[in-house]
């Protein structure tokens, strides 16, 4: 049942082709039923999971490799599942109003359902490899969603960028998982967590940690991998609201949380995760201030908020983990609502440029209130849910488990990042909705709020107020179970609006005061930020350059390698053969010339071998084609004699016929082929040819000698055939029986080859030269 | 024997690397001779009689390599014939047997 629930979004996609033509725009309501039902379904697990009893279901998938499709639904997974389905419901409902008739609705809703299913898979699975598969599915489906308006070049650019960066991280993460498997011998998350102390002590710990963090950081857009997120804003606004509030970017946070008990608690984890998180918090909020596009504002704000949560996971204290779980919930609600509000503004006025917007509160008062509530919550203004989690963040930053410079640096960074957060939140509200309209040509299409799109953000904003006033509502049922799931043991913290007069409150006061001053003097701050960050060299330029560079190298390599000359390809093949086989032979010490099991060699054999060698050399050096062909036939004839000498009568007979026929054939074609010219080749090329040829020949000789000397097998490997030829095959000539009986199918293949060759020869000879018709 | 086969391969590879189609075909023939001899050599030389039962022979040459070689000889023949005709056709069509000058015909 649980499995069907998780796969339900995937299954629902198959209904869309039938529903879209019937329901048209209303199809969104049908789609919204899926997350609504799932939300209710998952909510039904709250009592059990909050009671400390996770739901575990196991389906065997590839038991040979230890890959089970196991479902592990604890507090952490449940929190994410509820956010994914809950936000999913609001986003899909919102999209009904946002997307017009002409959009490709079928594509949109199937992508979003597929994405939802992938996200659910990521957070509910108990197996790392299954997690990896769903993880990459989210990358692929988010690529489709971001590139939904694929006719716009910039959408395609953003989609490709997000895919390249997150898939790069995903592959690194897969390598990290394999390291974990090497350490623990299991892909099962619970087994790995149970061996947490071994993992941390193992010498593979650091590589595993770094690789997995790469996966989490790229997905969660942490510095310096954040660059894909602003470009991903080219997606339709419902997609941005979904991907960047509750889902895609939260997958990275989920991974951090999930593996905290196995990987966390060490100095490496602490400094890497909280360091990167705090840096991202400061950098993201700092960069947000100078944006002019409202969605870019929210993009950088998302980056910085993700940094905050990442830092909390890095702190690895009980309080920090509880704060992180709480802030994940809050961020999903306020950021989802903010994206929707921005989408409404864009939809109604046709622009998102903060420089030309203003005074919108007169046209859409309720929208303005929603924007105010959610932005204030993000800024951490008291009485809203964001304030509670931000207070916890400050408290956690003051109670770090590690001593040293981090003790004062990390709280300072927390405050600094929060000041800019406060500032851009204020700008978002007052510059757009407050003041006077800056550009009279830009005004909403009609007076009043657009309720078809407004009701989802209204509900989300009221959640912010309610939870802000009564944080206890979610404390027991969502936040603490999630924190316990992260921590690996029960976590008891108290979420409260009022903690008394203490340092965190002082920090909040500083943030609000300085943030307000910055907001008043925003011109100066923005020009300062622009002075620091210039356009010529930044990470985006690096990304673009590296793509161009990659293309150039690939082109260069292809041109070098794919010359179109047969000779060059052969040179590559033989060189590679000589180097790889010869290299292995020498490196592995396979060269063995001592224990040869040689047969007696008489003068007869020596004479034959000499003739063969002479004939072969003759083919090379004889000046006319007639002589060369005859020389080759000579070699063939001597090989026949060899077969006789080596007790292989069948071979001798066959070879004799074949040699005769091929000589005739050669001579038939002879008349039509040009005389061998003296090869005009550069000395150096000739030398290269000779070296390659000589190396191949030498290698073959060495291989044979070593093979003989090593003697891995019995002298005769065909015992079975010798024994069974008469009873089973009914023939005395074992070679013949092997060919036509034991290996009859092979021989049939051989006959097929001959027939095809014969047909080809016939058609080539008979073929009239079609269009040109100038031959013969 | 090993040395002779080594030389066969050397000359074969050298011929294959040259520009003339005819030489390339000759080269492949020589390489296949070398390969056949290699297989039978690896099976052990002159360690017994021919693999014919019922003739009172107790020790046999290994029949398996021989069966392999028999197939190889025939296929090689087909290959050579095909290449030969291909060379003939391409020369008739394109007027050269220098592979560096074969750059596709106009009506490709």
Cis peptide before A224 (omega within 30 of 0): yes
* Amino acid A213: pLDDT: 92
**Cα A609 to Cα A143: distance, rounded to the nearest angstrom:** 66
**Cα A134 to Cα A120: distance, rounded to the nearest angstrom:** 8
* Amino acid B90: pLDDT: 76
3-state secondary structure of B20: strand
At B106, is the pLDDT very low, low, confident or very high (cuts 50, 70, 90)?
Answer: very low
Give per-residue burial for A24-51: e unless 16+ CB within 10 Å, then b. eeebbebbbebbbebbebbeebbeebbe
Burial of A200 (0-12, 13-18, 19+ CB in 10 A): middle
In a domain, B73, yes or no: yes
Number of folded domains in chain B?
1
Q: Do B38 and A679 touch (CB under 8 A)?
A: no
Range of the domain at A706: 566-712
In a domain, B103, yes or no: no
Alpha helix segments (H runs only) across A711-733: 719-724
**Cα A720 to Cα A741: distance, rounded to the nearest angstrom:** 13
Q: For B17, phi and psi rounded to 5 degrees? A: -80, -5
Distances (CA, A) of A678 to A620, A775, B82: 11, 26, 25
Distances (CA, A) of A475 to A81, A171, A657: 17, 36, 91
In a domain, A79, yes or no: no
CB atoms within 10 A of CB A676: 19
Please name which of A274, A272, A168, A284 lies closest in space to residue A226, comparing C-alpha atoms: A284
pLDDT-flagged residues of chain A (< 70): 440-443, 445-446, 533-538, 589-601, 674-682, 708-718, 768-776
Q: What is the ipTM of this complex?
A: 0.82
Question: Chain B partners of A767 at a C-beta cutoff of 8 Å?
Answer: 89
* Nearest chain A CA: its distance from B3 CA (Å): 6
Inform me whether the C-beta atom of residue B31 falls under 8 Å from chain A C-beta atoms. Answer: no
The closest CB to that of B93, out of A628, A693, A769, belongs to A769
In a domain, B13, yes or no: yes
In a domain, B72, yes or no: yes
**Cα A571 to Cα A691: distance, rounded to the nearest angstrom:** 11
Q: Do B14 and A708 touch (CB under 8 A)?
A: no
CA geometry: angle A421, A471, A89, nearest 5 deg: 75
Placement of tokens 């981090």 in the chain: A406
CB atoms within 10 A of CB A549: 10
**Cα A260 to Cα A269: distance, rounded to the nearest angstrom:** 9
In a domain, A10, yes or no: no
Mutation test of the interface with chain A: which of B78, B91, B99, B101, choosing the one with the most A Cβ atoms within 10 A?
A: B78
Helices A248-263 & A105-124 angle (0-180, nearest 10)? 10
Question: Tokens standing for A93?
Answer: 């409902």
Residues 6+ away with beta carbon under 8 Å from B53: A722, A725, A726, A732, A733, A734
Q: Do B91 and A689 touch (CB under 8 A)?
A: no
In a domain, B9, yes or no: yes
Question: Chain A partners of B50 at a C-beta cutoff of 8 Å?
Answer: 647-649
CATH of residue B69's domain is 1.10.287
In a domain, B53, yes or no: no
**Cα B82 to Cα A761: distance, rounded to the nearest angstrom:** 6
pLDDT in tens, A35-80: 999 999 998 888 888 887 888 888 888 887 777 888 888 888 899 9
CATH of residue A597's domain is 1.20.120
The closest CB to that of A697, out of B7, B19, B54, belongs to B7
Question: Chain A partners of B53 at a C-beta cutoff of 8 Å?
Answer: 722, 725-726, 732-734
**Cα A13 to Cα A21: distance, rounded to the nearest angstrom:** 14
Helices A406-432 & A275-288 angle (0-180, nearest 10)? 30
pLDDT in tens, A146-196: 988 888 888 888 898 899 999 999 999 999 999 999 888 888 888 888 888
Number of folded domains in chain A?
1
Mutation test of the interface with chain A: which of B6, B99, B108, choosing the one with the most A Cβ atoms within 10 A?
A: B6
Q: Do B2 and A636 touch (CB under 8 A)?
A: no
Q: Do B37 and A655 touch (CB under 8 A)?
A: no
* Amino acid A469: pLDDT: 84
In a domain, A31, yes or no: no
The closest CB to that of B70, out of A570, A601, A650, belongs to A650
Range of the domain at B33: 2-46+60-97
In a domain, A595, yes or no: yes
3-state secondary structure of A605: helix
């Amino acid at each position: 049942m649980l499995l069907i629930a998780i796969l339900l979004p995937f299954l629902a996609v198959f209904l869309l082709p039938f529903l879209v033509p019937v329901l048209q725009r209303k199809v969104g309501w049908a789609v919204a039923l899926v997350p609504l039902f799932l939300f209710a379904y998952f909510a039904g697990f709250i009592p059990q999971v909050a009671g400390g009893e996770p739901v575990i279901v196991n389906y065997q998938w590839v038991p040979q490799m230890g890959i089970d499709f196991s479902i592990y639904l604890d507090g952490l997974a449940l929190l994410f599942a509820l956010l994914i389905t809950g936000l999913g419901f609001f986003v899909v409902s919102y999209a009904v109003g946002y997307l017009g008739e002409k959009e490709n609705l079928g594509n949109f809703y199937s992508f979003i359902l597929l994405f939802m299913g992938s996200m659910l898979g990521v957070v509910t699975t108990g197996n790392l490899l299954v997690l990896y598969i769903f993880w990459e599915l989210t990358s692929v489906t988010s690529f489709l969603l971001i590139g939904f308006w694929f006719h716009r070049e910039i959408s395609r650019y953003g989609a490709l960028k997000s895919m390249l960066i997150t898939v790069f991280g995903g592959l690194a993460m897969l390598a990290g998982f394999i390291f974990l498997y090497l350490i623990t011998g299991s892909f099962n998350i619970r087994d790995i967590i149970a061996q947490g102390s071994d993992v941390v002590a193992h010498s593979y710990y650091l590589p595993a940690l770094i690789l997995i963090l790469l996966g989490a950081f790229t997905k969660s857009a942490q510095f310096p991998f954040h660059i894909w997120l602003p470009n991903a804003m080219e997606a339709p606004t419902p997609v941005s609201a979904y991907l960047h509030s509750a889902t895609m970017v939260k997958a990275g946070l989920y991974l951090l949380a999930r593996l905290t008990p196995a990987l966390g608690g060490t100095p490496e984890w602490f400094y890497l995760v909280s360091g990167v998180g705090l840096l991202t918090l400061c950098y993201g909020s700092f960069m947000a201030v100078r944006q002019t596009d409202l969605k870019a504002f929210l993009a950088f704000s998302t980056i910085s908020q993700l940094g905050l949560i990442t830092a909390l996971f890095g702190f690895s204290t009980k309080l920090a983990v509880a704060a992180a779980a709480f802030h994940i919930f809050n961020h999903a609600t306020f950021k989802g609502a903010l994206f929707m509000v921005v989408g409404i503004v864009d939809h109604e006025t046709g622009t998102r440029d903060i420089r030309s917007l203003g005074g919108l509160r007169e046209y859409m008062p309720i929208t303005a209130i929603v924007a105010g509530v959610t932005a204030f919550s993000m800024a951490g203004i008291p009485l809203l849910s964001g304030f509670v989690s931000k207070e916890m963040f400050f408290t956690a930053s003051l109670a770090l488990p590690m001593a040293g410079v981090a003790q004062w640096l990390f709280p300072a960074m927390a405050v600094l990042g929060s000041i800019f957060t406060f500032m851009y939140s204020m700008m978002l509200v007052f510059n757009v909705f407050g003041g006077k309209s800056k550009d009279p040509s830009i005004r909403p299409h009609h007076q009043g709020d657009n309720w078809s799109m407004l009701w989802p953000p209204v509900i989300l904003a009221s959640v912010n107020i309610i939870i802000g006033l009564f944080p206890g509502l979610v404390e027991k049922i969502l936040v603490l179970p999630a924190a316990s799931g992260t921590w690996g043991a029960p976590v008891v913290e108290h979420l409260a609006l009022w903690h008394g007069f203490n340092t965190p409150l002082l920090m909040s006061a500083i943030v609000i005061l300085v943030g307000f001053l910055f907001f008043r003097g925003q011109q100066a701050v923005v020009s300062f930020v622009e002075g620091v960050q210039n356009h010529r060299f930044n990470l985006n330029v690096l990304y673009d350059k590296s793509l161009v560079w990659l293309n150039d190298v690939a082109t260069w390599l292809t041109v070098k390698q794919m010359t179109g000359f047969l000779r060059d390809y052969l040179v590559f093949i033989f060189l590679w053969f000589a180097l790889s086989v010869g290299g292995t032979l020498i490196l592995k010490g396979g060269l063995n010339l001592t224990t040869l099991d040689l047969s007696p060699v008489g003068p007869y054999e020596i004479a034959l071998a000499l003739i063969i060698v002479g004939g072969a050399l003759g083919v090379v050096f004889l000046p006319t084609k007639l002589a060369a062909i005859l020389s080759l036939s000579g070699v063939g004839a001597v090989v026949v004699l060899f077969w006789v000498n080596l007790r292989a009568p069948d071979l001798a007979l066959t070879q004799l016929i074949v040699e005769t026929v091929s000589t005739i054939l050669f001579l038939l074609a002879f008349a039509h082929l040009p005389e061998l010219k003296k090869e005009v080749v550069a000395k150096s090329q000739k030398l290269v040819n000779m070296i390659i040829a000589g190396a191949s020949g030498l290698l073959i000789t060495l291989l044979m000698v070593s093979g003989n000397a090593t003697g891995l097998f019995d002298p005769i490997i065909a015992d079975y055939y010798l024994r069974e030829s008469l009873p089973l095959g009914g023939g005395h000539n074992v070679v013949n029986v092997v060919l036509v009986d034991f290996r009859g199918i092979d021989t049939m293949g051989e006959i097929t080859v001959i027939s095809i060759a014969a047909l080809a020869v016939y058609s080539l000879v008979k073929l009239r030269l079609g269009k040109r018709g100038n031959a013969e | 024997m090993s040395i002779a086969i080594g030389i066969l391969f050397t000359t074969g590879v050298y011929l294959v690397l040259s520009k003339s189609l005819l030489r390339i075909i000759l080269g492949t023939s020589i390489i296949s001779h070398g390969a056949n001899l290699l297989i039978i050599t690896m099976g052990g030389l002159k360690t017994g009689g021919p693999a014919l039962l019922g003739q009172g022979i107790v020790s046999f040459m290994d029949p398996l390599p021989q069966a392999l070689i028999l197939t190889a000889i025939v296929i090689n023949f087909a290959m050579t014939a095909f290449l030969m005709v291909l060379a003939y056709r391409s020369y008739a069509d394109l007027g050269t047997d220098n592979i560096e000058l074969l750059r596709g015909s106009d009506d490709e």
